[in-house]
Structure 1
Amino acid sequence: MFEIHTLRLGELMIPQGESLLRDPIHAWYVTDGTTRILVDVGMPGVEETRRRLGIAATGGGPDSLVRTLGECGTDPGAIDIIIATHLHFDHAWNLDLFPQACVVVQRDEVFHAVDPVATQRIYYLRETLLSLLARKKPSGLRLIDGDVDLMPGVRLMKVPGHTPGMQVPIVSTTKGKVALVSDLGDHYRCWFPADPRATEHPMRFMTGSYLPGAIRSESERVYQDSMARVQAACDIVIPAHDFRIPSHIPAEWFEVPASTRGDLSHSKADHSKAAHSKAAE
């Protein structure tokens, strides 16, 4: 059985009209005491994010990843396997920090990183793809196709929606199975759009359904079908960009947050300038 530690690596500060979207960036350290797995590797640092994407940020980069792994009692050199849920810049930037680890990624995701849909070109950075392809198979890179049992207690599900090669690990713990859904529904409101605990704007007409994310390569039906498959295979989901996800699983365990309190995604206009300025320092 595995334990899962959430690594809070930083935030992106994205202006949206009169408000500011605060986008927390997470990765997960997964271990059974013997095998050490990292699910995603996070975003670039503040300066690189500003230079490449024109947005402010806090944290990120290799320093943040080394620090948060250290808080879990481990370090980059101890990581055996990296599961790349997908190859967007905020999930796959720091691969060079783990030359000894085997990166597991869907073959379709690599193809999409080479030739993405036009709306996602900005999210795939050239350095990430080159770093990935420079790894020597099979010790450094494992390309898979479809659902795979990676090892006892860890199953990978290919779930197109956010990207064609999106994959979600289903991890067994003492309390049940956890889906680290990353950006396949990156907030609780995507998974529970009718639940007032998940969102300040519950949509009752969507009871029993899902709200696909705005960034997607596939149709809404394909996206929702992927979400349904994942939820049927697990007991709880952990989205990538919600502030309220548990920090240590299974010690913390819930299907839906207790309330919307702590959902800091959007700041009001009078606070956004200050937050943006602070992030740019």
Structure 2
Amino acid sequence: MPTPIPEYEVYAVRYATRNGQRRDHFIGGDPHDAPMPMDYFVWVAIGGGRTVVIDTGFTEDVSNKRGGRTYLRCPVQTLERLNVQADQVDDVILTHLHYDHAGNFDRFPSARFHLQESELSYATGRYMHYPRLSHSFEVEDVCGLVRLNYQQRVYFHNGQGQVAPGVSVHWAGGHTAGLQFVRIHTKRGWVVLASDVSHFYENFEKNRPFSSAFHVGQMLEGFDSLRTQASSLAHIVPGHDPLVMKRYPAASSDLDGVAARLDDTPLDGPDL
């Protein structure tokens, strides 16, 4: 008999937020001048004897330097409330190297880091000459990943790759040259963590590209890839939408508003 695929518990940990307007989040703006805040998350999958952390957030120092963001809590310390100890994590997936996804990498001293090869090439290549593209990176994070590669701790993927049984990464591009999303097997089916392939539900639901794009065509095709890899549209979890914390149950009563359980059935939302 074939070995069964592990079922993972999957959590979204909210660690920061910022105010925004609808016009900020869609190419071409939006005719409605209404608030549209953005949340910042890291994610973790636990199952099959493994713990896989997806993205590592940013630090309070970076939050203060960039301004305009409300830093709520350290994402790495918050993982401890889910019984995840950073020094015991074996695998960290970095969906891309923007500042809000690749900070705190040094807090995981034993981990292997999974990254698309094209992302590191992008973050160290010719396009970083342009502030429009480089401003979302912290150069010390990028240099840190280069050093980890010299320490044989970065595992590069080109397209689709398996991190563990039931956990795979899938290149999408669009927002950055090497952006990837994560597909995870859970008790309710295949959950897809979109990260910045789709910042908000509305991006992929209405095929409206996000305002920060390296390649608009890839961004649109990325929405298609999310749909292909998820068990249903209700299994796609966007990367920055505050609705995630409303649509999914809290990980526990003391983590309401802090961590949501993504392998459970959504509490509300459209009938998808």
- Within the alignment, does 1:239 sit opposite 2:255 as a pair? no
Aligned mates of 2:158, 2:37 — CA distance in 1: 34
Counterpart residue number, 1:224:
220
- Within the alignment, does 1:41 sit opposite 2:56 as a pair? yes
Q: In percent, how many aligned pairs have the same letter?
A: 21
Q: Deviation of residue 137 (structure 1)? A: 5.7
Counterpart residue number, 2:72:
59
Query: What 5-or-longer segments of structure 1 have no aligned partner?
Result: 194-209, 260-281
Alignment partner of 1:135: what SS? Answer: helix
Indicate how the Cα distance of structure 1 residues 229 and 56 shifts in structure 2: closer, same or farther if over 3 A, else same: closer
- Within the alignment, does 1:2 sit opposite 2:12 as a pair? no
Counterpart residue number, 2:175:
162
| Counterpart residue type for residue 10 of structure 2 | I
Counterpart residue number, 2:39:
24
TM-score, length of structure 2 as denominator length: 0.79
Q: Deviation of residue 152 (structure 1)? A: 1.7
Q: Is the 8 A contact 1:185 1:211 kept in 2?
A: no
Q: Deviation of residue 111 (structure 1)? A: 1.2
Among 47, 50, 56, the residue aligned to 2:64: 50
Alignment partner of 2:135: what SS? Answer: helix
Alignment partner of 1:157: what SS? Answer: strand
Q: Is the 8 A contact 1:183 1:239 kept in 2?
A: yes
Counterpart residue number, 1:185:
198
> What do you get for the CA RMSD once the two structures are aligned?
2.3
TM-superposition CA deviations, 1:99-128 (whole Å, max 9, x none): 210110011101111134632211011110
Q: Is the 8 A contact 2:177 2:214 kept in 1?
A: yes
| Counterpart residue type for residue 113 of structure 1 | A
TM-superposition CA deviations, 1:155-204 (whole Å, max 9, x none): 211101111101011101111101100111110111222xxxxxxxxxxx
Aligned mates of 1:149, 1:133 — CA distance in 2: 22
**Count of aligned residue pairs for this structure pair:** 236
Aligned mates of 1:56, 1:249 — CA distance in 2: 25
Aligned mates of 1:135, 1:155 — CA distance in 2: 21
Q: Is the 8 A contact 1:44 1:89 kept in 2?
A: no
Aligned mates of 1:28, 1:131 — CA distance in 2: 21
Segments ≥4 residues shifted beyond 6 Å = 15-20
Aligned mates of 1:180, 1:137 — CA distance in 2: 29
Q: Deviation of residue 237 (structure 1)? A: 0.7
Among 70, 79, 83, the residue aligned to 2:80: 70
| Counterpart residue type for residue 23 of structure 1 | M
Alignment partner of 1:38: what SS? Answer: strand
Q: Deviation of residue 66 (structure 1)? A: 3.1
Q: Deviation of residue 248 (structure 1)? A: 0.5
Counterpart residue number, 1:142:
155
Alignment partner of 1:123: what SS? Answer: coil
Query: What 5-or-longer segments of structure 2 have no aligned partner?
Result: 1-6, 25-32, 249-259
Q: Deviation of residue 138 (structure 1)? A: 7.2
Among 77, 85, 108, the residue aligned to 1:98: 108
